[in-house]
Chain A
């Protein structure tokens, strides 16, 4: 019975998504939206992918990674090379960006995920910076002046990627593997003692996160006409981190909501970049001081829709300070 209900909820969501997709497609094709709004829409989609993929690493597995822009950079450059230098089609580029980012995730994840807490944070930050400096020094991709990329992003591809990311990560979270990851977040030593291969699951979550960040990188590259190493500095990592933290560490819907809201705010503050950063940082401090669990805590939006039932995904006991 429960399975049936879950399945119903799933198909309901899919139908809603399809309706949303068709409506937006109609609005874009009919040119009812001006380019500014279309661009904001694309950025929202890319940020949702980034936030949800980082949510898997930080919110679900509890591994504090602040080098997500590194994977974004890998995906962006690899996909740009594939479309611009090799002349292959856009979908191949997206996939390749994701796969190469995932490989980078394995390479960086296996050694660094043995570290914990602050050390992991700094090591991932270092990785992100190394990636940026690497691309800065490769003449093939244009060095500091960057690389021009044609605008190949389309609404169906973007929407498909966002939907795929969300479905994969929701299903992952609710699977055995996801449970194992949550147990690592709650208490790594206890999880180890219960026979969970913590390194394996940590690397797995990290690699899946890296894959989707790479896909987001591909979309990003083909939306912005030009990619430069400075776009992927660790300020970009912080931008993604802010989305996850504000949404609530451990809440996927929270990350999505934060991504949508903050991207819209950013788009309207585009003429005042300093003011935007001042507001961002103040919000970050104030949220941490007064509501450290973020907007949604570890709850999902479904928990608010049907208050009587237990929340799907995330911690069931509604505990607030769960992320290590």
Chain B
């Protein structure tokens, strides 16, 4: 029983990382209908920026987090402006292939620049002691991850629902042409979406690095794909869906590991994906939309 709850706690920490990445996927998909494959690599870049700002610039946890988020936001906007914007009216497949290309470019560009060797994240940045509740040991790291995620998600909800840019984002995702006619600057809104999504991915990168302590240039692939699964699970394009999807996926994975199938862990996410696509393609929170001819 204790073991189970322990695994649940781990699952929630892992799941909140997935949720942070999934938010970026789901926002971008909701607004431009593009699976931004490069999102997992923005996450990787965030982890590296966090690493270098902690080790080289000697910053604390919070400044590093903010630095990683800002840089990733700029990086995300650059990707959007250079690679995706010219393709906004192209076919979906062209955009998808470009996204794959950007993803490979970031990964191997990174390897080309700094080599493929992994780095070990310093684990003494934040000193939160682990403590026990009812005999269950909860590590400070996982609490930190949870706290960071919750704060960022509340912030995101605030931005999306209470600010002008959030209103514009919702309008553009609802109907891009109508939003344009209402005088919304669609280009800026899309860039803002990329910026926010990438900043969340950057934050996820830093907390991922602190939790797993090992980062390398190809680390973004699998979490990125799984976060996409999480986004689909919750219903792609729906922000609360991504949060719930991420948490559910994290918990499922931890339970599978706990059941002794840790080698199958990576496969589970994809099985979940295929099952959800077959039985409920609109996701847990999605509504069924009839296709018009």
Contact = CB atoms under 8 A, between A and B. Distances in A.
A171 interface: no
Interface stretch (A5-13, A123-131, A159-167, A254-262): A123-131
A249 B93 contact: yes
B97 A129 contact: no
Given A111-B278, A278-B108, A122 B93 contact: no
Interface in B84-126: 86-87, 90-98, 100-105, 107-109, 111-112, 116
B277 interface: yes
B160 interface: no
Contacts of B101: 281-282, 284-285, 288
Interface stretch (B70-78, B175-183, B264-272): B264-272
Contacts of A114: 278
A274 B83 contact: no
A292 interface: yes
Nearest to B267: A133
A277 B108 contact: yes
A64 interface: yes
A130 B94 contact: no
A119 interface: yes
Given A130-B271, A238-B100, A241-B97, A285 B277 contact: no
Contacts of B105: 278, 281-282, 285
Pick the most buried of A66, A126, A130, A245: most chain B CB atoms within 10 A of its CB: A126
Nearest to B101: A284
Contact of A137 (B98, B108, B264, B274): B264
Q: How large is the interface on B (under 10, 10 to 19, 20 to 34, 35 or more residues)?
A: 35 or more
Contact of A136 (B94, B95, B263, B291): B263
Pick the most buried of A121, A123, A277, A281: most chain B CB atoms within 10 A of its CB: A281
A321 interface: yes
Interface string A77-89: 0000000000000
Interface string A113-146: 0110111011101110110011011000000000
Interface string A1-35: 00000000000000000000000000000000000
A289 interface: yes
Q: How large is the interface on A (under 10, 10 to 19, 20 to 34, 35 or more residues)?
A: 35 or more
B270 A127 contact: yes
Nearest to A128: B270
A249 B116 CA distance: 33
Mostly, the A contact residues are helix
Interface in B264-291: 264, 266-267, 269-271, 273-274, 277-278, 281, 291
Interface string B232-256: 1000000000000000000000000
A15 B81 CA distance: 51
A274 B277 contact: no
B266 A129 contact: yes
Given A111-B274, A130-B271, A134-B267, A321 B91 contact: yes
A112 interface: yes
B42 to A, nearest CB: 15
A205 B91 CA distance: 22
A288 B97 contact: yes
Contacts of B111: 274, 277
A284 B267 contact: no
A280 interface: yes
A129 B35 contact: no
Pick the most buried of A66, A238, A274: most chain B CB atoms within 10 A of its CB: A274
A323 interface: yes
A275 interface: yes
Contacts of A323: 91, 93
Contacts of A122: 35, 228, 232, 273, 277
A324 interface: yes
A310 interface: no
Contact of B92 (A117, A125, A278): A117
Contacts of A123: 273-274, 277
Interface in A190-220: none
B225 interface: yes
A138 B47 CA distance: 33
Contact of A281 (B90, B92, B104, B278): B104
Contacts of B278: 111-112, 114
B133 interface: no
B94 A292 contact: yes
A272 to B, nearest CB: 9
B293 interface: yes
A189 interface: yes
B97 A118 contact: no
Contact of B90 (A118, A278, A321): A321
A119 B281 contact: yes
Nearest to A114: B278
A234 to B, nearest CB: 8
A292 B95 CA distance: 9
Contact of A126 (B100, B264, B270): B270
Q: Which 3 pairs of residues, A with B, have the shortest CB-CB distance?
A: A126-B270, A284-B101, A281-B104
Given A137-B264, A274-B112, A278-B109, 6 more contacts: A122-B277, A126-B229, A277-B108, A284-B98, A284-B101, A292-B94
26 contacts: A111-B274, A111-B278, A112-B277, A117-B92, A117-B93, A118-B96, A119-B232, A119-B281, A126-B273, A127-B270, A129-B266, A130-B274, A137-B264, A189-B291, A189-B293, A238-B104, A277-B104, A278-B105, A281-B104, A281-B105, A284-B97, A284-B100, A289-B83, A292-B87, A323-B93, A324-B92
